[in-house]
């Protein structure tokens, strides 16, 4: 019996040593120390032993059980540690790996230009005013000194919704609305950005819908020189400190006198394809607010004067970024838009 027990023990220890994982080890525990295991079997045979041998065997059985149990416990500690090591190895994060880049969208060039112009004028004390895109004929034309049937209405071919309602052709109606709100008291100092609509056939330089920013200043002693100085600051900020402006006489029904404003070309006056050899590029329309417009909006034109200007962001962006077709702004080709990302 003693030999049987010793064999059992060495057999068990061998298996414990060879156990590869915790499950195998547990199977060994159940097999050797469980109720139906061989050690229990040996115990059952104790009845046949003599009274002297019984305590000796009993003690031996206990030693064998304990040895096996200890061996299992030790092995269990080893296997558990190994399992944790393995888990850790699997879950290792290499913090030195470069992250996967997140794609960040780019601001649309027109938004960028609009915000740049807004910032510039806000810095000069202007506030931003907005108004409806579906506008009344009164605000879009009549209050701007363009009565019904006036030939100058043809300058801005219009999408009419009803005879009195239209898609605004410029953001000047926002200026009228703002002046009205002032109840005849100055100063007014606003810029009006927004979408405008004209019945044009789309091509490289025309679009039936485009964006505009117009500016308006009304106050006492506002003069043409104020307009010129303001636009000079604008041109230098938008296109570069070395640029100059020049004013050419023009006509708008809502301003008198009216001017067309050119910026000196980036070629430095030598003449290139952008300025068509002239050294100057037309960028906006402007003028002194017509007394009729001031009066219709409730201002005393003997006390108040003002200047106004208007430009299209598309044209500014095309000149600034060298874009050759206005349709690029609206066709949303990612290859075009990505070029305006500040993140790549
Ligand atoms: N409203 C004019 C246009 O869209 C631009 C402009 C604004 C001209 C203010 C002069 C003064 O054509």
Residue 214 CA to ligand 1 center (angstroms) comes to 7
Give the DSSP H or E segment for 302. none
The phi and psi torsions of 218 (rounded to 5 degrees) equal -125, 130
pTM: 0.71
- Ligand 1 neighbourhood includes 252 CB (under 6 angstroms): yes
- Testing ligand 1's pocket by substitution, the residue of 209, 308, 313 carrying the most ligand atoms inside 8 A of its CB is 308
Which pLDDT does position 131 carry in this prediction?
A: 97
Q: Whose CA is nearest to atom 7 of ligand 1?
A: 310
256 is in an annotated binding site: yes
Whole-number Cα distances in Å, 128 to 193, 246, 310, 325:
8, 26, 14, 28
pLDDT tens for the chain, 344 residues: list them.
778 778 888 888 888 888 888 888 888 888 888 888 777 777 777 778 788 887 887 788 888 888 888 888 888 888 888 888 888 988 888 889 898 888 888 889 999 999 999 999 999 999 999 999 999 999 999 999 999 988 888 777 899 999 999 999 999 999 999 999 999 998 999 999 999 999 989 988 899 999 999 999 999 999 999 999 999 999 999 999 999 999 999 999 999 999 999 999 888 888 888 888 899 999 999 999 999 999 999 999 999 999 999 999 999 999 888 898 999 999 989 899 888 887 54
Burial class (CB in 10 A: 0-12, 13-18, 19+), 151: exposed
DSSP 170-192: SSHHHHHHHHHHTTT---EEEEE
Give the three-state DSSP class for 53: helix
- Angle, helices 53-90 vs 2-18, to 10°: value is 0
Residue tagged 């579906």 (tokens)? 134
CA-to-CA distance for 239 and 319, rounded, in angstroms?
A: 9
Which pLDDT does position 331 carry in this prediction?
A: 92
Which pLDDT does position 61 carry in this prediction?
A: 81
CA-to-CA distance for 204 and 190, rounded, in angstroms?
A: 31
Residue 298 CA to ligand 1 center (angstroms) comes to 20
Nearest atom (ligand 1) to Cα of 258: 10
Per the CB < 8 A criterion, the answer to whether 168 and 196 are in contact is yes
Which pLDDT does position 3 carry in this prediction?
A: 81
Q: How many CA atoms lie within 13 A of 147 on its CB side?
A: 2
Cis peptide before 328 (omega within 30 of 0): no
193-196 own/partner pairs: CB under 8 Å, 24+ apart: 193/114, 193/117, 193/118, 193/128, 193/130, 193/313, 194/130, 194/131, 194/133, 194/168, 195/133, 196/133, 196/167, 196/168, 196/169, 196/170, 196/171
Which pLDDT does position 343 carry in this prediction?
A: 59
Q: What number of residues does the chain have?
A: 344
């Amino acid at each position: 019996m003693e030999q049987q027990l010793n064999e059992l023990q060495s057999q068990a220890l061998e298996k414990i040593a060879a156990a590869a994982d915790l499950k195998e080890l547990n199977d060994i525990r159940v097999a050797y120390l469980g109720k139906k295991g061989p050690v229990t079997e040996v115990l059952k045979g104790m009845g046949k032993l003599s009274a002297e041998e019984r305590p000796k065997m009993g003690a031996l059985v206990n030693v064998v059980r304990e040895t096996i149990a200890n061996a299992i416990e030790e092995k269990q500690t080893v296997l558990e540690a190994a399992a944790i090591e393995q888990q850790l190895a699997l879950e290792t994060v290499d913090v030195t790996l470069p992250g996967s880049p997140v794609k960040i969208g780019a601001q649309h060039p027109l938004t960028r230009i609009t915000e740049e112009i807004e910032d510039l004028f806000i810095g000069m004390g202007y506030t931003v005013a907005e108004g409806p895109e579906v506008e009344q004929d009164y605000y879009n034309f009549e209050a701007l000194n363009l009565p019904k049937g006036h030939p100058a209405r043809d300058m801005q071919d219009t999408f009419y919704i009803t005879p009195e309602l239209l898609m605004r052709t410029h953001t000047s109606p926002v200026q009228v609305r703002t002046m009205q709100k002032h109840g005849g008291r100055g100063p007014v100092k606003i810029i009006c950005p927004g979408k405008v609509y004209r019945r044009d056939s789309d091509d490289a330089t025309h679009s039936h819908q485009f964006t505009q920013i117009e500016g308006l200043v009304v106050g006492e002693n506002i003069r043409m020189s104020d307009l010129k100085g303001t636009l000079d600051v604008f041109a230098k900020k938008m296109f570069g400190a070395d640029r100059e402006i020049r004013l050419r006489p023009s006509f708008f029904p809502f301003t008198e006198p009216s001017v067309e404003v050119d910026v000196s070309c980036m070629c430095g006056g030598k003449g290139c394809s952008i300025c068509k050899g002239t050294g100057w590029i037309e960028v906006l329309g402007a003028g002194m607010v017509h007394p009729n417009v001031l009066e219709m909006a409730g201002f005393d034109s003997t006390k108040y004067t003002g200047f106004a200007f208007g430009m299209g962001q598309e044209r500014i962006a095309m000149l600034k970024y060298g874009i050759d077709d206005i349709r690029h702004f609206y066709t949303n080709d990612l290859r075009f838009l990505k070029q305006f990302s500040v993140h790549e």
